[in-house]
Structure 1
């Protein structure tokens, strides 16, 4: 929590491929007096950045250090293979990892898929970054398997990509230090979960308003039943009542009704 003498602010870390623009826009609309600063971090450094309080929260890839960090799953990405546009794979809609058996599959040091066993044949050296690996694909050295957002991030006109059905997947989460679950962190959690302004977590009225609606829903049928009794029946049973009770009520109504004069 910030002191009353400090200007509140919020630092949001994000890893390559993640696009926080929509959530940042909503934040700026709801909290115009609280500036949000984006902090770009590499996927492998994201957990350290949060542990060291370089950011208040982060849009990062699994795994994260769950001993000190909380995490809310956001989405899981499709895994794709990047190839030259004239590659045989480009003619398929999707492939299996086994289809890469004869290919040199590049494995950059910043890989985010956590392969147990990489398909295809390994390159002589591992590229330092995904960006370097994409350059090697363009040079015809090999192919590269990555989350789809990274394929889009490193898009080139001479390259394309296709889904790999049985490859590992990368999941993106919202993470923050568990001991630093501040009001601003709660606000951002509400934004990524799609909560409206009036339903932000922790506000008492978000619990009271649904109860009022439920009470109103209960009262409305009750009024309908009362009207039904006065009119001789409910809307779901419009036939007049028969039997002794109904006959007595009909006679009483006739006795109490003034006779018309001719």
Structure 2
């Protein structure tokens, strides 16, 4: 008679092997997770300041605002420099807004940025105010043309009258003299606006020379910060490549 294949059959294949009475069950081993590699800490940048020089009349406000948005960890110091000393000042700043021409330009990187129109600043009582928008060099014939010591345009008018006093020390003093009703002074438009007064007006000098404002820095001093400022001036976005 055939043996029954019930659950009591010993060693039946496919069944669950039960531990013997009194035997200790072996614990199931779990794989130990490997520790994740610790990322190397980013080296801290040394504190620094980006120093930007600027001649009178230059308007870097927009670029400074963008710098502070993109480089909040690097303060920007704006330092006013004179046109007369702009070349030597480049040794003391990271970069500067200068007026062309600049001496020894072959030792510098120079990026022309914009041209400024020349204007004639005159007293509100001057007959030249009859012109609505512009005057010409010919209109200045017989006028006392004041040339301050910090003049940047070097306009020479053959038929102009020579002042009977020493050249003013700077543009501000020259415009104050004009306001008193003595002569006229020719300057870039930004300087006329910077020294605007109620007792003076200005008109564009249609056939006068323009003044070019440029960004300059020494060829051997191109740093990452200088490259960043160049990108801002040229309109690159924060994600743009150089």
TM bracket (short chain): 0.7 to 0.9
Call closer, same or farther: CA 1:178–1:116 in 2, change over 3 Å: farther
- Map 1:22-61; keep pairs closer than 5 Å: 22-50=62-90, 52=91, 54-61=92-99
Q: RMSD value over aligned CA atoms?
A: 1.7
Call closer, same or farther: CA 1:80–1:129 in 2, change over 3 Å: same
Aligned partner of 1:146 in structure 2 is: 187
Runs of 4+ displaced beyond 6 Å: none
Cα deviation, residue 114, structure 1: 2.6
- Map 1:7-156; keep pairs closer than 5 Å: 7-50=47-90, 52=91, 54-64=92-102, 65-92=104-131, 93-115=133-155, 120-124=160-164, 125-156=166-197
1:41-61 deviation line (CA, Å, top 9, x unaligned): 1111111100x2x10000111
Cα deviation, residue 127, structure 1: 1.2
Cα deviation, residue 119, structure 1: 5.9
Tell me if structure 2 keeps the 8 A contact 1:97–1:119: no
Cα deviation, residue 101, structure 1: 0.7
Aligned residues: 197
1:44 aligns to what SS in structure 2?
Answer: coil
Aligned partner of 1:161 in structure 2 is: 202
What TM-score, normalized to structure 1?
0.72
Unaligned runs of 5+ in 2: 1-43
1:122 aligns to what SS in structure 2?
Answer: coil
Tell me if structure 2 keeps the 8 A contact 1:12–1:37: yes
Tell me if structure 2 keeps the 8 A contact 1:79–1:163: yes
Which structure's residues are more often helix, by fraction?
Answer: 1
Call closer, same or farther: CA 1:119–1:70 in 2, change over 3 Å: farther
1:121 aligns to what SS in structure 2?
Answer: coil
Query: Within 2, Cα distance between the matches of 1:72 and 1:134?
Result: 30
Cα deviation, residue 115, structure 1: 3.1
Tell me if structure 2 keeps the 8 A contact 1:187–1:200: no
Unaligned runs of 5+ in 1: 202-262
Query: Within 2, Cα distance between the matches of 1:192 and 1:89?
Result: 37
Cα deviation, residue 150, structure 1: 0.3
- Higher-Rg structure is 2
Aligned partner of 1:209 in structure 2 is: none
Tell me if structure 2 keeps the 8 A contact 1:110–1:128: yes
Call closer, same or farther: CA 1:149–1:30 in 2, change over 3 Å: same
Tell me if structure 2 keeps the 8 A contact 1:107–1:122: no
Query: Within 2, Cα distance between the matches of 1:118 and 1:62?
Result: 24
Query: Within 2, Cα distance between the matches of 1:152 and 1:9?
Result: 30
